[in-house]
Every structure is written in structure tokens, then in C-alpha cells.
Structure 1
Amino acid sequence: MADEEGASPRELVLEACRRNNTSLLEETLAELAAAAKKAGKKPVEHVAETLNKAADGVGNGCLHVAATYGSYEVLDILLDQEGLEIDEIDRLERDTPLHKAVRYVNSLEKSEWEPVGHPIVDILLDAGCDPRIRNKAKLKPLELVDPRNTTLRSMLQKGEYAMTAGGDVVEEEDDGPTGSASDSD
């Protein structure tokens, strides 16, 4: 079969990330899941393992590649995959996908920061990427931001605060005396 001679699933995933090609990514993920079922493996785990091992020649994983190229739609699909490692470190710069996203925003014209670049960083932060991780140069993503981009700086600062504060900010489950009477028996 000609399919056996073609690109590997990892190569297809990386190509989808480079080109923001959602149909290629979805087709590849479906084929991985089907192959796993056929082989008696758990599809979710097989897909996650393939995505986590997919890397280019310099050690950029699929999220690194998608963030580098500003592939928002592909990031959206990838971040929905259970078991995906979101704070993977590349070999060259020891960057996380969030570092790559900030570099991508910096490469854009100022007029494209808000509509094109910021959503890339935002989706990574929403997925739980850690903005406190430092790369090989000992820089956090915040420290890579163009100083004129105050909105991006603020997004990353809020992300750092949310990670540092952890669950302390939102957990207000205690209903006090006006809460449920189920413990009054």
C-alpha cells in the first residue's frame, strides 16, 4: 500500500501544526485512535503518547511547533487531547510552548498583536501552561515580551498570579449557616 510509504503519524501531526491544518490533524488523530483499537490498545493513551513523542529535529514538540507558527485552531484541538504534556521543554532553548507563543507574538506587526498573537498565548494559559517556567537563558515567557506590549505582559502576569495563588482564590465552598441542611440530622 502507498500509505505505508508515506509520512509517519508524528510527521503528519507536526505538519498540521506548522500549517494550522485542522483537517490533517483530525484525520491523523482518528487514524491513531483506530489503529490503537485494532491493536487492542487504549486509543486515548496511544494518541497522547504519539503527540507527546512527536518532535522535530531540534526537539520542538507539537505544541511548540503550533505556537511558533501561530496555529490557533490546531492548538485548540491539541489542547483538548487527554494526556497531552503542555509544559514540554524543547532541547535547543529549553523553551516551553508558552515561550514559543510569546516569541511568535513578538514577530508580528504591532497591529496584529491583539487579534492574532494574544489568542495564542491566551489559549495556552487557559489550558494550564505554566508561565513561571524559565528557559535556558533563565527567562520566563513574561521576560521575553516586547516592552511595548503591555496587554501581553498583563496576561502573563495574571497567569503567573493564578498559578502561584493556586486554588486559594476560587475555593469558596463553605455555605455557612445558610447552606444545605443535610448535616443537621
Structure 2
Amino acid sequence: MADEDGASPRELILEACRRNNTSLLEETINDLKAAASKAGKKPEDHVADTLNTAVDGLGNGCLHIAATYGSSEAIDMLLDQEGIEIDEIDRMEKDTPLHKAVRYTNSLDKSDWSSGLHIVDMLVDAGCDPRIRNKGKLKPIELADPRNTELRKLLQKGEFDMTAGGDVVQEDDDGPTGSASDSD
């Protein structure tokens, strides 16, 4: 791993996220797991702690950076890590990674919107909350380019799913009669 003169694991993680360098990210995560095992720590906890505390000078975490740069493979790899904080708030704009992903999508040419949609979809699917407001009191959907109807639909669906998630009634399978009552 990094020696005294080299980059720290946190710096390596941030650089891997910035450049979508999955080899570096995987190598750093494996090094963290090995170091945790040697120290008698639970590897998954050590990796999650390192990922969740890796921030740049502006308070952007690894998911923020990956979303800002459209590093979809790095995002996919990060979301596979147990214990990663997916709704982390950055220091400057109070954005979540989902806000950053929407801003990234807006920065693309219309013909490239699908790559941004893929990132937003991954984050929403992982459970990122599209209802969180940033410093400007804006939710991710309120940042979305109004012409990007697919992005807006995806964020609306995510909001609905988060809002209705606890309200969805699960039907019991009571068999052909539909009732557990034996009263006739």
C-alpha cells in the first residue's frame, strides 16, 4: 500500500473515483481489508470507515467525486461496499451524491444524457434519497434540466418509492379462501 512518501488510502480512493480507475479502487480496498485483518479489525467495517471519511478539501466524499466526474464503474464498485454512506452531504453546497449526479447529467450534451441517467438510476436503486434538499433548498429533481424528461421521471419515481415505501401494504397469501377466519 502507500508508504510514507506515497498517497494515503483516502487520497488513492478519491483519485480512483475522480478518474474512474476501478483497478486502483479495487487494489486500495483490498489493501484496506488486508490491513484490517492484520490489525484484528473487521475488514468490511474498516473499508466502510475509510470510504465514509475520505473527503477532499471541499468536503466531497468518494461518491460525490465519482458522481461529479461521471465515474459509473467506480460508483458501482463503491455501492457494493457494505456500510458505505450513500446520502452523505458535502460541505459547500450541502449536496448529496444524487445532486452531483444530476448536475453531471445536466452538463452532458443531450445525446449523452443516457450515461448520466445510468448513474442517477444506480444511486436511486441503491437507496439514495431524492427528497433531500441542498443548501439552496433544492431537491435533485429541481436541479434537473426540464427538457430531460427521463431524468425527471426517474427522480419522481424515486421520490414516490421513498415516500410510499413504508405505506405499501403487503398482501398475505391466505390460500384460496383469502381469509384466515374459520367462522362460517
TM-score scaled by structure 2? 0.93
| CA distance in 1 between partners of 2:2 and 2:32 (Å) | 17
Pairing of 1:108-123 with structure 2 (within 5 A): 108-114=108-114, 116-123=115-122
- Alignment match, 1:140: 139
Could you list the per-position Cα deviations for residues 98-149 of structure 1 after superposition, in whole angstroms to 9, with x for gaps in the alignment? 00000000000000002x1100100000000000000000000000001110
- Alignment match, 2:160: 161
**Residue identity (%):** 75
- Deviation, 1:2, is 7.5
CA RMSD after TM alignment: 2.0
Counterpart secondary structure, 1:3: coil
Mapped pair 1:128 → 2:127: yes
User: Where has structure 1 moved over 2 Å in runs of 4 or more?
Assistant: 1-4
Equivalent pairs, count:
181
- Alignment match, 1:177: 175
- Alignment match, 2:69: 69
Q: What are the ranges of 5 or more consecutive residues in structure 1 without an aligned counterpart? A: none
TM-score scaled by structure 1? 0.93
| CA distance in 1 between partners of 2:64 and 2:121 (Å) | 15
Q: What are the ranges of 5 or more consecutive residues in structure 2 without an aligned counterpart? A: none
- Alignment match, 2:92: 92
Pairing of 1:13-52 with structure 2 (within 5 A): 13-52=13-52
Higher helix share: 1
